[in-house]
Structure 1
């Protein structure tokens, strides 16, 4: 692959990281969605066990997408990883500890036949879904506004924000977009894994959350276009140059996050997929196609943010010129090249294994199945 220069490798890894994040949002997204609706769609103990067993065999495999995404950011954009994981440390710890609750709740809930015990773990599972979904969305909302950090002359990063500042109105709106779209994803998944009456409740939930996703996504888009200062490179950025974010000039202009869509109108298909996919969830009658439509909507929402911010990865609200882009925040050319070889080998293997697992575990989970296999299920 000698034809791949530094510029091409940087762009490829921008796309690959985006694909990994979309993979996480789609695959682990329905786990988070099921966790969020667990106490509401499941009306009794048997039904709640059905919901847990719908994701029980696959949630840990789906979690691989998050690990892959974080690992790819570390290897491809080490400076971005260092700034984000140190500056946003408190928020990420909250996500991490909330994610701990999911395996514990799934494994321990049915150990005791006690209503208080099981209710506690039911709501713990709910927390393990809603907290990460909300915070991931809030994080994207803050990225679109810029994160308060800067570098000194020795490239040491300094984060000057607080956890409370992350919970601003626009970021919370994006957080609600994340919550609603993952509830849609989880409810759509339940429609291919459960039977009545859970199925009917999941259908209503999927339609309501799909409509909310469209409304909130459009409102957030309008806010970005009319009320959020976007970032644009003025000069000094080399696509093949060194990874030094101190060499460019950046301006902030309201609505400039829409520049990529205006300069390449074909990119409007990305946010259109987010809306069309969610609307399809409402009108499609076939369960499998509905789940695919939900996944397309989720992919469209995540990709819209990436396309809008391109080439920025981590904008700085306090020192815009020191914002990190895919061109000046990446690893070396050799590192990106070796990582690409590894990705071409292992990502297809992961996809093949995931497809095989879901084929083996296809079929609906029922209360009767839970009762007949009580010793082997959650």
Structure 2
């Protein structure tokens, strides 16, 4: 079995892979939902838009469920602390997600304009709200979350829902929302044609520009935010104990990893270059290549957040020593080892069946297809 310290790093990487997979796969579904009321001007056009993601959105939820499960299993202290501290924010996400299954399944069951319009806006909420909240959550992680532990490692959150909506966190929310909208628009451009494709391209390019500007602004702002640094000696192989270290807050601490490992600069560069390249490829109507470039942009943005914070996962602003890190918030050596081998078996299966499903359902979704399958299509 791999040693404990190596498994801790591996699971930090695997959770990152799952978050990226969620952003790429479920993200384009949400991005399409966000654009739905704006790129589809008639009921027929909106049905075209919905059916580009209709066959896949449920399967893509696997990434969301697996990501949450991995955090629960690999980082139990992070799961418990985050889901209690961000309780109302997580409920907002769940309430928004409720619109997706009922919206997809019931939207076209009744031939009534008000009924269908209501569910269209429900799908918009289910697509637009979660990325915004997730971005706000990451913005708060970078500033530190007000929680502390007692001697029994029972966490106490001292903040409120409204404190989460601070200026930097809202800017991070703009980055996330624009990123997912860009990704959804790029996918929609690949699966549609004509006027719907033209509107999708316009929306994706606009979102890409907003994402790049907000991402660069957040990076500049981050340099003046007090980051976190472990000031005591850490034993990577030690049993998890988040109260065994000392942590200091200092301006520019989140940039320290870039000084130690200059190659990390490739991640923010990938975020910016991927978005701009996707926009350029969309203008040239190279939609599949644009989707790949958009996916790389997501890797760059999410990777930038993870690399900046490493080894911190959930820093504490009210009790810095209680900050949760890669080294002291994990499950046991045995648990990480078993989950690692299980992941090596099942992750390729998920990728294979997802690839097969997209290959089978490839091609353009057209108005003629919707008319031909009036009672079978979403």
Instruction: Normalising by structure 2, report the TM-score.
Output: 0.98
Q: Match of 2:227?
A: 230
Displacement after TM superposition at 1:51 (Å): 0.7
Q: Deviations over 1:220-275 (max 9, x none)?
A: 0000012x111010004221111000000101111110110111101100111000
Match of 1:20 among 18, 21, 26: 18
Q: Match of 1:343?
A: 343
Q: Does 1:266 align with 2:251?
A: no
Q: Match of 2:122?
A: 124
Q: Deviations over 1:58-86 (max 9, x none)?
A: 00111110111010011101111110111
In the alignment, the residues of structure 1 paired with residue 147 and residue 139 of structure 2 have an alpha-carbon distance, to the nearest angstrom, of: 16
In the alignment, the residues of structure 2 paired with residue 303 and residue 221 of structure 1 have an alpha-carbon distance, to the nearest angstrom, of: 13
In the alignment, the residues of structure 2 paired with residue 306 and residue 45 of structure 1 have an alpha-carbon distance, to the nearest angstrom, of: 41
In the alignment, the residues of structure 1 paired with residue 106 and residue 259 of structure 2 have an alpha-carbon distance, to the nearest angstrom, of: 52
Displacement after TM superposition at 1:103 (Å): 1.1
Q: Match of 1:307?
A: 307
In the alignment, the residues of structure 1 paired with residue 113 and residue 154 of structure 2 have an alpha-carbon distance, to the nearest angstrom, of: 52
Q: How does 1:34-45 map to 2 (within 5 A)?
A: 34-45=32-43
Q: Match of 2:187?
A: 189
In the alignment, the residues of structure 2 paired with residue 82 and residue 232 of structure 1 have an alpha-carbon distance, to the nearest angstrom, of: 23
Tell me if the contact between 1:236 and 1:247 (Cα under 8 Å) persists in the aligned partners.
no
Tell me if the contact between 1:237 and 1:328 (Cα under 8 Å) persists in the aligned partners.
no
Q: How does 1:1-378 map to 2 (within 5 A)?
A: 2=1, 4-226=2-224, 228-284=225-281, 285=284, 286-378=286-378
Runs of 4+ in 1 over 3 A off after TM superposition: none
In the alignment, the residues of structure 1 paired with residue 333 and residue 131 of structure 2 have an alpha-carbon distance, to the nearest angstrom, of: 34
In the alignment, the residues of structure 2 paired with residue 176 and residue 283 of structure 1 have an alpha-carbon distance, to the nearest angstrom, of: 21
Structure 2, unaligned stretches of length 5 or more? none
Instruction: Normalising by structure 1, report the TM-score.
Output: 0.98
SS at match of 2:82: helix
SS at match of 2:223: helix
SS at match of 1:63: helix
SS at match of 1:231: strand
SS at match of 2:227: strand
In the alignment, the residues of structure 2 paired with residue 130 and residue 19 of structure 1 have an alpha-carbon distance, to the nearest angstrom, of: 22
In the alignment, the residues of structure 1 paired with residue 31 and residue 107 of structure 2 have an alpha-carbon distance, to the nearest angstrom, of: 18
SS at match of 1:240: coil
Structure 1, unaligned stretches of length 5 or more? none
In the alignment, the residues of structure 1 paired with residue 110 and residue 88 of structure 2 have an alpha-carbon distance, to the nearest angstrom, of: 34
In the alignment, the residues of structure 2 paired with residue 88 and residue 67 of structure 1 have an alpha-carbon distance, to the nearest angstrom, of: 18
